[in-house]
Every structure is written in structure tokens, then in C-alpha cells.
Amino acid sequence: MTSAQELFGGGIAVITGAGAGVGAGLARYAARELGMTVVLADVDTRAIAELRAELEAVGARVLDVTCDVRDPQALERLAERTIAEAGPVRLLVNNAGVEQFGYLWDTPVPNWERLLAINISGVFHGIKAFLPRMTAEPGQSWVWHLSSVGGVSASPLQAPYIMSKHAVLALTECLHQEVELAGHAHHVHVQAVLSGAVASDIFESAGAVEDSDIAAAEDHRAAMLRIKAQAMDPVDAARVFFDQAAEGEFYLRSQPFVADAMAARADVLTHRRAPLLIRGDYAVLAN
């Protein structure tokens, strides 16, 4: 069996949303355990600068690039700089994402549009900037897209986020087929990351509602923060993702309950049942 070290070791990884959460966990594991050159991309300049300093202190090679994934030209510049300063990309992780709490009908339009621009269009912009360059290179490369257990389930009071993760999963499945159709599947490998309960700051920074049922939105935020307290460390999740990728899995799952959620979703669709309303601390933790 091929190991993650054999596949990824010494290569170049580009990670969007690398300033915190799963993105930072992937960066730490890739740099420290696999010896990868890591390109940290995020809108939070300070966060990626601090992470760069941390990783350089242990001998890693790191670039930090302030990048807003909503801007397609920013992704083009990221790709150009990566190739010029580091070389061909071994692993692209389109990870940047934001959350939104509250009833769907209470969601402010600007929050809705921002979430779509980051969670969905940001992934597309990453594909648009990097895939032509990756398919043109003869070496092996991987593309990971951060969906979530939310991408195979439904949960009230965070509908925009859940919807976006369903979209990312569908986009990733289609891209996997298109890479094969175009004749690149022998060297470009597309995989979907289904993160479950992985520690992140996404809930603290999640959008809320400005009027109507504010209490419902904040109660749901509190429920997510209770889950976060028991969540998996992002570096441990990264290890799992890299190992599953090396095993050739398409759906990279942080914990066994993600597979249970996938099976439950399949059962709902097979039997044409309405999704069950889950009350209490919803078992959905984002990237």
C-alpha cells in the first residue's frame, strides 16, 4: 500500500482558508509530517503570517499569500506566484468557507451572497486558476474540496451553509468525472473531504440574523460551540485525510459517523422519505 509520505512528501500544497481550522491543520501536518512546501492562502493576513512563522521555526518551507477567494483574479495571482516561487502543485485544497445561522427567511441578503461567493464560487475560482496548470503537468497531483458531513445531510438553522456543502460535493463529483473524461485521471486525482466534528473557529465568526428570530440563531450557535468542545483536533483530522487519500478513497472522512450520515442520506433518498428533524446539539461541525 502506498503511504501518504510516498505520494505527497516533498511536494507543494496550496491551501485556501489556511489561517484556521481544517486548513491550518492540513498545513501543519503537510509541512511538519510530510515535508511539503505549503502555500498558505487566506484573507486573514495576520493569521497566515503567524502560521508561516510557526512552521518556518521547525524548518518548513512556507509561502503566505493574502487571497480573497471571491476574486477570480486573486486566485490567478496565487497560482502564478505559486508556480514562479515554488513550482508545480502536488496538492490543491479548496477549503475556504464561512457559516450562517438562523432561519433561512431571516438570513440577510448580503450574508447569503457572501456565503455563496466564498463557499461555492471560491471553489470554482480555485479550479479555474489551478486545474489547467495541473493537467498540463505530467506529474501526479491531487485536488481536494472541503465539503462536510453537512454535504450529505440536512440541518435546520444553517441552511445556507448546508446547501453550499451539498453544492461543493456535487461539483467535486462532477469534476472527478470530467477529469477522467478529458483523459487526465491517470495523473490528476480529485477527492471530496467530508469533515465532521473538527475543531474550528467558524462558528464564532458565523453570520447571524439582524432581526426576527435572533434567539433561534444564537441558540444554534451555542449548540455548535458545545460540539466544538468535543471536536477532533485539526492535525489529527489531517492525518486521517492524507491516509485515506493515499489509500485511493474518493470520500475522505474525518470520523466514522460521517459514513453513518452518508448511509442515512442514501436511505432517505432510496425510500423517498422527508428528512428527519434533528433537535438538540446537531451533529454537524464545519471546516
Active site residues: 161
Decide: 195 and 146 in contact? Cβ < 8 Å.
Answer: yes
Residue type, 54: E
Strand partners, 189: 142
Strand partners, 16: 41
Encode 179-209: b = buried (16+ Cβ within 10 Å), e = exposed.
beeeebeeebbbbbbbbbbbbbebbeebbbb
Give the C-alpha separation, 110 to 265, whole Å: 30
Give the C-alpha separation, 147 to 169, whole Å: 6
93 CA to centre of own chain: 7
Give the C-alpha separation, 55 to 21, whole Å: 16
